[in-house]
Chains A and B, each alone.
Chain A
Amino acid sequence: MIGGTGRIDNRERFFQVESPFVQKLASDLKAKDVMTYNVITLAVDQKVKQAKEIMRLKKISGLPIIDEKNRVVGIISIDDIIRWLEEQDPEGEIGRYMTRNVVTVREDQLIIEILKMFKRYKYGRFPVVNNENVLTGIITPGDVLIKFLHILEEHMSSRSPELVRKKVKGFEKDLKFDNRKLVKLSFEIEGGDLSQAGEASSQLKSILAKSGRYSDDFLRKVAIVSYEAEVNVVIHAYRGVMTAFISPDFVKIVVADEGPGIVDIELALQPGWSTASEQVRELGFGAGMGLYNMKRWADDLMIESVPGKGTIITAIIYNRKGEG
């Protein structure tokens, strides 16, 4: 669905699914396609300190607790560990501290439903169970995002021969529209390569400008939004892909990266807030205006991010007649 002019103001829409591609993915995939299978589990009579050590060593933030028949009876998370620490009970057993009301999902449950559950419950993970209620896996928002990124990458490399690291030479003259189809252009963005920052957005802008279909105001908005999204990938992520879906009436820019993600989207949208390094700031980047600029100039902006995994930014800019 393309449409709607509301802007993202907070993380309420964190998992709101609007892009048709993402929507299709979320409706096609099931928990078992995405979940982690090798789940580390503990039993109620084991010590909390064991759970703490496992969580520290494996860098995980929650462990399902199972009974002798592999059924989930609880979950122990960082919050429970903190409670245990406060009680100063070094030999305390898991049974006393774990959370008992565990929300589980079924193996064949659709990802779109699970995403909605993440939004509703605000939990970091759901244990996955089969029809006999036996634990078979665990799923986090990060698992979903990684799966989406992989599919997106495959989708792009198989479907768009114009995926470019090199220049999109000669494409200008081909920017002819079939009313039912969007022209799609993809650009790879290398993380950390500051010297190349702005290349992809410059190319996109010049292609759009050469078509002669767009107002100056529209081109400026596209330039700002694509530039900021590109610079974010260069500064913060390992790599990313910017894809522009171009129609005579709008451009939709989707920038997906593998990177550290955004821990607090609402905070990151505040002007002046930045996690950029000193080195990056000396070059005049990292002013903390990137997401704010995107929000200001895009007609519709959606940010999906999972800390430690990556971020997908989707922005739509409409080419309104009579402006510019």
Chain B
Amino acid sequence: MSGADLDPHGDVHGDVSVDRLALADELAGTAADGSTAVASADAAEYALRLGDDALVLAQQLGMWIARAPELEEDVALGNIALDLIGHARSLLHYAGTASGRSEDDLAYWRNEPEFRNAWLFEQPNGDFAHTIARQLAASVYLYELYSRLVDSTDPTLSAIAAKSVKEVDYHRDHATQWVLRLAGGTEESRRRMLLAIIDTWPYVDELFVDDALVERLAAAGIAVLPSTLRPAFDAVIDEVFAEAVLERPTGRTAFIASGGGRHGSHTEHLGPLLAEMQVLARAHPGASW
């Protein structure tokens, strides 16, 4: 398929679409991940899951800018969001090579049921402790995932993982420090941290659920089987929680364990998030910024 002929979404965009030359160039492999490879249908679906996780979390974190408890935290959460957008761009670009869609097509022109992120990432910011609890679970999970995905037999996924893991290491450190600070801070900060962990942890199990897609991909050495990441994830969390004198919730999370995000079922929080994220692109189709 040649890049210039691609525009399966002409009907969605109306008669205004992204610049065809720019799109052809991007799909030829000069986008953020630098790959010229075209993803298989399975690898594209997997990249979409990972890309959506990063994109949705980045959007949530961006909402903290100018609202965080201190100026430095505006900057930190903004920078973490920027790293995640970088990861999402690479992953969505790669996912799009399978269907002739650009990373912007995938970010701005899909509706809720087409998003493949896990529920954890779309959970609301809550108070600062809720954001930090979500951030701890997310960054520890992403760190374990990317450090294993470095060995993927898919060179594009391996390169994205090798790049991302170094950045996620800093995100994990940031979340850990805040958990320690809030849990060991005032009575009120500790109370809120405890509550945030109780509220957040039901969404953790979904991250480690295997299904037919990841089993096929893992058998080919392309994906990491999510269930195999759980022991390492729990070990790191237990270490942080031991230091913060917190307990990891167990046993009460089965009702959300299967989630549904990977198959396009979402909680009520994704819709408003997408509305805000996509409004500009949809109001001005084809605009570049």
Q: Check if A and B associate.
A: no
Interface residues of A (CB under 8 A from B): none
